């Protein structure tokens, strides 16, 4: 094993991978879109002399992208989609097939989000208030859909520690004229009595209908059930995790402790002994909400009770998904 960068991989792919890892590019749908675009860049800029070399390059680029963030299944699903149809006798034909697959994938992604948004919007009534967690473009598409239908919708937006993606949600909602109340995560239960829906996105959905999303989603869902507030998960089918059909589990990403405590805060807590082995910070980025706390999963194919999502998953993916970058 060597840490030397793979010279066959074009700068665009390295940049996209670095941006996904640092969360400059973030959110499951946006990551999938960027990964497909990066594979198209690799295909376009490739100088491979043979079909075999071209295919190996694309696999290496896909692996580089795949290794950035482990939880959002939209990333491997996007890579699989683009590589699956790589076909042709010559480098030129292969290149064209990859560029075309990436283009159609990205177009489908955007169409799916629009369709999902219109379906999710039907669940929201005029005058409703939603509570959001983190920043999900799929969840926001439902609010946008409702606004476009002429409904007055308002939002209680959870800040979402440690990276405060709630601010991005608040900004998008204000752009559409939606009134926003921003609250810290710990205030969620108190504000649940004022809201009509909890509306979140997903990074992965397992075959049993469990929803993997930003850390704090599961606690919010349990509190919402206790308060009688329905929980709606907006997730394009690219978020369905086909590996869970064959017993695989979804890896939960752990991120750097510096997102939680700064070096000077660590220093203060440990009284000037920053290497104190008895002081540990953990920063899991996602958690799992069991299906019993979810009322509906809204996809571009309609809304589903979480327990029946497995049928859609089988239909769309089958069980033989493979990892074309290996």
Residues 72-91 that bind ligand RUB (CB under 6 A): 72
Residues annotated as catalytic are 134, 203
- Among residues 186, 182, 185, 197, the alpha carbon closest in space to that of 160 is found at 185
Q: Is 131 helix (H, G, I), strand (E, B) or coil?
A: strand
Cis status, amide bond into 162, omega within 30 of 0? yes
Taking CB under 6 A as the binding criterion, the range among 23-31, 58-66, 89-97, 315-323 that sits at the site for ligand RUB is 23-31
How many residues sit in the footprint of ligand RUB (CB under 6 A)? 18
Q: Which of 16, 68, 129, 165 binds ligand RUB (CB under 6 A)?
A: 165
Binding map of ligand RUB across residues 287-326, x = CB under 6 A, - = no contact: ----------------------------------------
Indicate the residue among 44 and 249 with the shorter CB distance to ligand RUB: 249
Give the interface segment with ligand RUB, choosing from 21-29, 181-189, 241-249, 318-326 (CB under 6 A). 21-29
| Smallest distance from ligand RUB to CB 138, Å | 3
Rank residues 201 and 291 by Cβ distance to ligand RUB and give the closer one.
Answer: 201
Residue nearer to ligand RUB on the CB measure, 9 or 139 = 139
d(CA 236, CA 294): 16
Counting contacts by CB under 6 A, is residue 285 touching ligand RUB?
yes
Query: How far is Cα 39 from Cα 83, in angstroms, rounded to an integer?
Result: 9
Measured from the Cβ of residue 263, the count of other Cβ atoms closer than 10 Å reads 10
- Verify binding: residue 27, ligand RUB, rule CB under 6 A: yes
Is 214 an interacting residue with respect to ligand RUB (CB under 6 A)?
yes
Tell me how far apart the alpha carbons of residues 322 and 276 are, in angstroms, rounded to a whole number.
Answer: 43
Is residue 132 at the binding interface for ligand RUB, with CB under 6 A as the rule? Answer: no
Give the other-Cβ count within 10 Å of 256's Cβ. Answer: 9
Which of 40, 94, 134, 298 forms a contact with ligand RUB (CB under 6 A)? 134
DSSP alpha helices (H): ranges in the chain? 11-22, 28-45, 51-66, 74-84, 91-123, 137-148, 166-175, 188-192, 217-227, 263-269, 309-317
Q: Does 157 bind ligand RUB (CB under 6 A)?
A: no
Q: In this structure, how many other beta carbons lie within 10 angstroms of the beta carbon of residue 86?
A: 20
**Cβ at position 137, least distance to ligand RUB in Å:** 3
To ligand RUB, the closest distance from the beta carbon of 314 in angstroms equals 22
- Residue whose Cβ sits closest to ligand RUB: 201
Question: Smallest gap, in angstroms, from Cβ of residue 296 to ligand RUB?
Answer: 15
- Sole binder of ligand RUB in the list 42, 59, 68, 137 (CB under 6 A): 137
Distance (Å, whole) CA 76 – CA 259: 26
CB neighbours of residue 316 within 10 Å = 14
Q: Quote the DSSP letter at residue 129.
A: E
Give yes or no for a contact between 240 and 260, defined as CB atoms under 8 angstroms apart. no
Q: Which of 253, 131, 242 is nearest to 184 (CA)?
A: 131
Does position 204 interact with ligand RUB (CB under 6 A)? The reply is no
Binding residues for ligand RUB, rule: CB under 6 A, are: 26-30, 72, 134, 136-139, 165, 201-203, 213-214, 285
């Amino acid at each position: 094993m060597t840490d030397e960068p793979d010279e066959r991989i074009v700068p665009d792919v390295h940049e996209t991978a670095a941006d996904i890892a640092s969360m400059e590019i973030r959110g499951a749908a946006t990551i999938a879109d960027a990964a497909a675009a990066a594979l198209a860049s690799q295909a376009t800029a490739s100088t491979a002399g043979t079909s075999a070399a071209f295919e190996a390059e694309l696999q290496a680029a896909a692996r580089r992208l795949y290794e950035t963030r482990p939880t959002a299944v939209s990333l491997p699903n996007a890579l699989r989609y683009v590589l699956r149809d790589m076909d042709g006798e010559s480098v030129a034909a292969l290149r064209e097939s990859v560029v075309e697959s990436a283009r159609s994938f990205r177009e489908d992604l955007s169409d799916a989000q629009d369709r999902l948004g219109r379906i999710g919007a039907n669940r929201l009534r005029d005058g409703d208030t939603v509570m959001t967690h983190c920043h999900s473009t799929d969840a926001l598409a439902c609010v946008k859909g409702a606004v476009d239908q002429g409904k007055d919708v308002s939002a209680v937006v959870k800040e979402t520690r440690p990276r405060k993606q709630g601010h991005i949600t608040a900004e998008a909602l204000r752009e559409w004229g939606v009134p926003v109340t921003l609250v810290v995560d710990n205030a969620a239960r108190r504000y649940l009595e004022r809201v009509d829906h909890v509306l979140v996105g997903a990074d992965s959905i397992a075959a049993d209908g469990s929803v993997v999303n930003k850390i704090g989603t599961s606690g919010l869902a349990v509190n919402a059930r206790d308060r009688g507030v329905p929980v709606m998960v907006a997730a394009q089918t690219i978020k369905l995790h086909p590996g869970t059909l064959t017993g695989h589990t979804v890896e939960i990403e752990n991120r750097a402790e510096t997102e939680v405590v700064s070096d000077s805060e660590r220093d203060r807590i440990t009284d000037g002994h920053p290497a104190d082995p008895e002081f540990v910070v953990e920063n899991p980025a996602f958690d799992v909400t069991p299906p019993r706390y979810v009322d509906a999963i809204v996809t571009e194919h309609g809304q589903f009770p979480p327990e029946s999502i497995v049928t859609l998953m089988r239909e769309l993916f089958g069980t033989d998904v493979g990892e074309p970058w290996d």
